[in-house]
Amino acid sequence: MKEWIHLRIRRQDGPETPPYWQTFRLPYAPDQNVVSVLMCLRENPMTTDGRQVEPVAWDHNCMEEVCGSCAMSINGVPRPSCSALIDDLEQPIVLEPLPKFPVVRDLLVDRARMDAGLRRVKAWIEIDGIWDIHEGAPRISPAEWSASYLYSRCMSCGCCMAACPQFGPQSDFIGPAPLAQVRLMNAHPTGRYDKTERLHRIMASGGLSDCGNAQNCVRVCPKEIPLTTAIGELGRQTTLQSLKDLFGQG
């Protein structure tokens, strides 16, 4: 029976200040996850060598792996901390901010780039226009629905982008998550109206063709979204789109 939970946390006081490491030790309790342990730590933030320090800042919300806000690097792998169970993790548990995203403080990162990517690819469906475009309920076959449902589970946690070797400050690649939303929105009966525009947006610099097919994204995605299938399907859609652009509509 374990007595302690050992944590090693990479801390940073502000966006511009250098990071540093601190270790913590908390009494073991069964069925904890990383978020609940961080909550316990917040009550008495004392390092292993007995120093009282500022509580660790991190982001969390739903506690059921649907909001995506608590993603961080846990033992080197990006994943949501609410679904990272202490009993499954090797100790000391090494917590770092989600890689590739700018640190705000401690384990709190700025995921504005995720939002910018979703905005850029028009990851929504226009339901209002100057005329009514909603003629009855859009029909989707059960097969199409179940394929698209996989992509609708994306919670914008950013793990796929953190694991992507092409994504980061060195490039303007939008990353796998916004691309998967193009796959989802382009399949929707109403979303299809903007398919061409979405495809043109991902055909520009930083879009689909900046993917290097390392396929780490699909390995780390906590929602098991078939990101590489989305990328292949968008490859086909952009191939056809470029033929239409070059030779005219078919």
Partner 1 sequence: MNASLDHIHFLLRRLHSLFGLIPIGAFLTFHLWENSQSRFGADHYNLEVVSALQEMNYLPFIELFVIALPLLLHAAYGLAISGQMRAELSRYPYARNRFYWLQRISGIGILAFLLFHVGTTRIQGLWQPAVRDDLYGHMQTLLTDPLVFGLYTLGLLLSVFHLVNGLSTMAIVWGLTTSAQAQRLFGYLCIGLGLLLGAIGIHGLLGFLP
Residue 235 beta carbon to partner 1: minimum distance, rounded to whole angstroms: 4
Total residue length of the chain = 250
Residue closest to 173 by CA, chosen among 137, 123, 133, 213: 213
Q: Kindly indicate which of the ranges 12-20, 41-49, 83-91, 217-225 contains the residues binding partner 1, using the contact rule CB under 8 A.
A: 217-225
Per CB under 8 A, does 239 bind partner 1? yes
Per CB under 8 A, does 89 bind partner 1? no
3-state DSSP assignment of residue 244: helix
Residue 110 beta carbon to partner 1: minimum distance, rounded to whole angstroms: 19
Q: Could you give the C-alpha distances from 55 to 12, 18, 39, 104, in angstroms and in order?
A: 12, 17, 9, 14
- The residues that bridge with 234 in the sheet, in sequence order, are none
Nearer to partner 1 among residue 60 and residue 201 (C-beta): 201
Report the residue from 1, 130, 137, 246 that binds partner 1 according to the rule CB under 8 A. 246
How far is residue 103's CA from residue 82's CA, in Å, rounded to a whole number?
20
Q: Give the residue carrying structure tokens 């929602």.
A: 223
Q: How many residues bind partner 1 (CB under 8 A)?
A: 43
Q: Kindly indicate which of the ranges 42-50, 108-116, 134-142, 196-204 contains the residues binding partner 1, using the contact rule CB under 8 A.
A: 196-204
The count of other CB atoms within 10 Å of the CB of residue 54 is 11
Residue closest to 181 by CA, chosen among 236, 119, 223, 127: 119
Per CB under 8 A, does 143 bind partner 1? no
Residue 196 beta carbon to partner 1: minimum distance, rounded to whole angstroms: 8
Nearer to partner 1 among residue 52 and residue 205 (C-beta): 205
Q: Kindly indicate which of the ranges 10-18, 19-27, 126-134, 169-177 contains the residues binding partner 1, using the contact rule CB under 8 A.
A: 169-177
How far is residue 29's CA from residue 143's CA, in Å, rounded to a whole number?
44
Per CB under 8 A, does 181 bind partner 1? no
Per CB under 8 A, does 242 bind partner 1? yes
Q: 181 with 208: CB under 8 angstroms?
A: no
Per CB under 8 A, does 241 bind partner 1? yes
Cis, peptide link before residue 92, omega less than 30° from 0: yes
Report the residue from 207, 222, 223, 225 that binds partner 1 according to the rule CB under 8 A. 207
Q: 30 with 41: CB under 8 angstroms?
A: no
Report the residue from 45, 92, 189, 235 that binds partner 1 according to the rule CB under 8 A. 235
Residue 230 beta carbon to partner 1: minimum distance, rounded to whole angstroms: 9
